[in-house]
Structure 1
Amino acid sequence: MASVRIPTEARLLLLTRGLRALVDGYVAVLLPAYLLALGFGTWEVGLMSTVTLSGSALATLALGTWGHRIHHRHLLRAAALVMMVTGLGFAGFSDLWPLLVVAFVGTLNPSSGDVSVFLPLEHARLAHMAVGHERTTLFARYSLAGALCAALGSLAAAVPDHLIKLGIGQLPALRAMFVVYALAGFALWLLYRQLPAPDRQLPEPPASLGPSRSVVARLAALFCVDAFAGGLLVQSLLALWLFERFDMSLASAGAFFFWAGLLTAFSQLAAPHIARRIGLLNTMVFTHIPSSLALIGAAFAPRMEIALGLLLLRSALSQMDVPTRSAFVMSVVTPPERVAAASYTAVPRSLASALSPSLGGAMFAAGWLAAPLVFCGALKIAYDLVLLGAFRRVDAAKRSEAE
């Protein structure tokens, strides 16, 4: 990866991203096991993911509409406090409706990526710290920090099994992990206090969308398709698929998601180099399509070893579009619009991905175990092809400017 000087504030944001990913990594694996232990079924697991992502989408929409009026330091600290309440709520409640309320207003993340209000705020800050290929590299390091820590977090999904062996009951062991999630929220609150005070202004004050409204709207519409497809198989549902299809244990699932996360992390290192050679858009598309084909293949794999191999191949390719997508969005809007653009492209993704987990859970409940994987892969391939056709000229123009 190209040598890029990382500002102090960027280092702090890389640290906060890593900490959030660490706890998100095990929560995504433990969430279905926790809900099943409480006596709920596979449909409720999908419903919980839908409600969680819907709440995140509405919070991000509010951020894009009014967030530019409030300094990012205050917003990030408030989000950290909400994260604390989320962890304590899941640790304390056992009935479905209270858990759904906490999931809706909280920061829980059932997916392998970041879908919270933290993301657009941190993206907008990072975008001001570099330009051109250096910005892509900085976003890649941000994604790398998240992927590595999420992989380590997946290993922590085995902690409840170890606690059970020590004589602690299954539910108390699982609840303890949500208490740790709340403590991570408090640690984030302390870290965000070190961000620049409100009297330090951005190079250009943030504003709502203006001249870039059209391109952001088109990108947001396409991102909806990708997110809806991904929502059919968020990480919690993929863990559920492994539990149902192959009777995999929590420890084995955690180990699998650890290695999958490592492959995802290493792919973030390659993304800037590939983007420098073939462009941001081509990197997004031509790594995404093979990963979707691998996912479809896993749906019909006759043995667990083959399915896991294909899923690992998917992990090595599927997330290369994350830093390149973020850099692409930041490159096609004016600097004052970056917070709004990050929010308005994140909101449709969250809304669309919120609709599909309950559908994926319903497919599992009906016994159609292969259906979510097939539909997810097919929709993602369609998204990639349309995205390439719609924005190929825009990407070529931005590459010419960079050169």
Structure 2
Amino acid sequence: MATKYAVKVLEELGLVSLWSSTIDTKLLCIQRFVRLFAYGGSTLILVSYLEVLGIPKWKIGLFMTLTLVGDTLISFVLTLFADALGRKAILALGAALMTLAGIIFALFGNYWVLLAAAIIGVISPSGNEIGPFRAIEESTLAQLTPSANRGDIYAWYSLIGTAGAACGMMTTGWLLYYMQETLGWTVIVSYRSAFWGYACVGLIKLCLALALSRACEAEKKKPSPIADPETAPLLGDGAEDEEPKKQKNWLTSKLPEISPSSRIIVINLCILFALDAFASSLAPLSWVTWFFRSKFGLTDGRLGSLFFTTAIIAAASMILASSIAKRFGNVKTMVFTHLPSAIFLALIPIPNSLPFAMMFLILRSCTQSMDVAPRSAFLAAVVLPHERTAVMGLINVVKTSASSLGPLITGILADHNVVWIAFVAAGTLKATYDLGMLAVFAGHKPQEERAEEERLAEEERLRETLTEDPEEH
């Protein structure tokens, strides 16, 4: 009896799905942990590092904006052609560029050189996913995982990534404290050492990407069946009157095809996700860490501990999200878990005491990531399998584009000592996004469910036809 209940708990938490998943699925999850570990560490110090180099706050905001704009273009190209050129190759290329970016940040202090490295080499201004990685990985996970288990796998994929960011911030924060307080290193030397670590993590990710099997590559579309020449009409049945299809060149042949039904869904999702991304960009993790450092005088070590705690809480909440989504659906889970976090985000800058500000930050972290796994599962379910990589990449590009202006606005507000406006605006816009998702997609059915309903309806029509005209058939 005890074993039965233990298995039930493990199934509810999604651990059974994760344990039974393929080696490639596990490698993709480990890759995400390693990547977010690097992002978390660099995000903790990015604003402070640029400030130590003598760069004004508005220009730091511009740095983040231009980084996101450049990343948008690179991500769009890479994800658009990822299925045709090879997912494994694109992931390996991105890991190599991460290593290059870490090396350049560790060696140079010129604003424009660092900006070029951040754009081409994937440096996250917000601690969140940038680059082509997530779209490719989520599309691959959908391909490797049965639809019934996708919610569990996406939940653990998201949890592992958030845990990676938490560990990265914690480790980087206390290593910087040790280097500065115990070893007596200067701030700039210790920060550059952290970017050497970023480069080493990029090499680890490169090895993990190369370890993936060919099962991760996109499934080839089945060719249309060739007509039997014995049964083909002698006169061609008018086929000769049809215009021959234009031959596609090499470049256009690599582009994915998006069905008309998916286009409407994607347009609605792009609008709503763009709103949410812009709201998030007004209060990215880099500026949140700067806010707590400048307002309350927290050291790097304490900052690392604080954001380690919030990230671990956010990661743990993702397990609950998968269980809730099985009962109430992905969309309702996304909305009703994300809405409270939007409210708490708007309240963070209001208190003048550290305990109350930390309380709102921690309360926000309790639900801020619970929408991530249901959102990925919902997105994978509402489009056709061969469209997933391109659609997920397109949506990530739209989100990155929408978030590009936010850091600059926050930087200008910080220069005028009114950064609290960014927090309040971000919380308000996020709440608007939640209500919009509920209004547009509350009753939307997954692609597989709609296809099954259409198949059953077609079978019912055939049965009715046979019943009405039995002699003709």
Q: If the TM-score is normalised by the length of the shorter chain, which range does it land in?
A: over 0.9
Letter in 1 for 2:175: V
* The structure with more radius of gyration: 2
Matched, 1:367 2:417: yes
Letter in 1 for 2:166: A
How many residues of Structure 1 are paired with residues of Structure 2 in the alignment? 402
Letter in 2 for 1:317: T
In the alignment, structure 1 segments of 5+ residues that lack a partner are: none
The worse-fitting range, judged by mean Cα deviation, of 224-233 and 242-251 is: 242-251
Residue 231 of structure 1 aligns to a residue in which SS? helix
The one of 108, 120, 127 aligned to 2:123 = 108
1:36 deviates by 1.4
Q: Identity of counterpart residues, as a percentage?
A: 30
Matched, 1:27 2:42: yes
CA contact (8 A) 1:204 1:335 kept: no
Letter in 1 for 2:189: P
> Counterpart of 2:376?
326
Q: Which has the higher contact order (CA 8 A, sep 6+)?
A: 1
1:253 deviates by 1.0
- TM score, norm. by length of structure 2: 0.81
1:202 deviates by 3.6
CA contact (8 A) 2:95 2:206 kept: yes
1:236 deviates by 0.3
Letter in 2 for 1:172: V
1:365 deviates by 0.9
1:396 deviates by 8.2
What is the CA–CA distance in structure 1 between the aligned matches of 2:23 and 2:81, rounded to whole Å? 27
Letter in 1 for 2:395: T
CA contact (8 A) 2:173 2:301 kept: yes
Matched, 1:214 2:230: no
1:63 deviates by 2.5
The worse-fitting range, judged by mean Cα deviation, of 53-62 and 331-340 is: 53-62
Residue 348 of structure 2 aligns to a residue in which SS? helix
Letter in 2 for 1:90: F
> Counterpart of 1:194?
211
Matched, 1:169 2:183: no
Letter in 2 for 1:325: R
Q: RMSD in angstroms over aligned alpha carbons? A: 2.0
Residue 393 of structure 1 aligns to a residue in which SS? coil
What is the CA–CA distance in structure 1 between the aligned matches of 2:60 and 2:101, rounded to whole Å? 17
CA displacement, residues 108-159 of structure 1 (integer Å, 9 cap, x when unaligned) = 1122321221111111110112233410110111001101111111112231
Matched, 1:349 2:399: yes
Letter in 2 for 1:343: G
What is the CA–CA distance in structure 1 between the aligned matches of 2:442 and 2:29, rounded to whole Å? 31
In the alignment, structure 2 segments of 5+ residues that lack a partner are: 1-12, 222-254, 454-473
Q: Structure 1 residues 402, 359: closer, same or farther in 2, change over 3 A?
A: farther
Q: Structure 1 residues 30, 400: closer, same or farther in 2, change over 3 A?
A: same
Letter in 2 for 1:8: I
What is the CA–CA distance in structure 1 between the aligned matches of 2:57 and 2:174, rounded to whole Å? 21
Matches within 5 A, 1:3-402: 3-4=16-17, 5-155=20-170, 156-165=172-181, 166-197=183-214, 202-205=218-221, 207-211=256-260, 212-395=262-445
What is the CA–CA distance in structure 2 between the aligned matches of 1:398 and 1:49, rounded to whole Å? 40
> Counterpart of 2:464?
none
- TM score, norm. by length of structure 1: 0.95
CA contact (8 A) 1:280 1:395 kept: no
Residue 405 of structure 2 aligns to a residue in which SS? helix
CA contact (8 A) 2:383 2:447 kept: no
CA displacement, residues 189-220 of structure 1 (integer Å, 9 cap, x when unaligned) = 1111111249x854445934234122112101
Q: Structure 1 residues 31, 67: closer, same or farther in 2, change over 3 A?
A: same
CA displacement, residues 51-85 of structure 1 (integer Å, 9 cap, x when unaligned) = 22222211221124333320111111111111111
> Counterpart of 2:252?
none
CA contact (8 A) 1:7 1:129 kept: yes
What is the CA–CA distance in structure 1 between the aligned matches of 2:387 and 2:265, rounded to whole Å? 12
What is the CA–CA distance in structure 2 between the aligned matches of 1:71 and 1:396, rounded to whole Å? 27
Residue 109 of structure 1 aligns to a residue in which SS? coil
Letter in 2 for 1:167: G
Residue 256 of structure 2 aligns to a residue in which SS? coil
Letter in 2 for 1:301: P
The worse-fitting range, judged by mean Cα deviation, of 80-89 and 35-44 is: 35-44
Q: Structure 1 residues 386, 60: closer, same or farther in 2, change over 3 A?
A: same
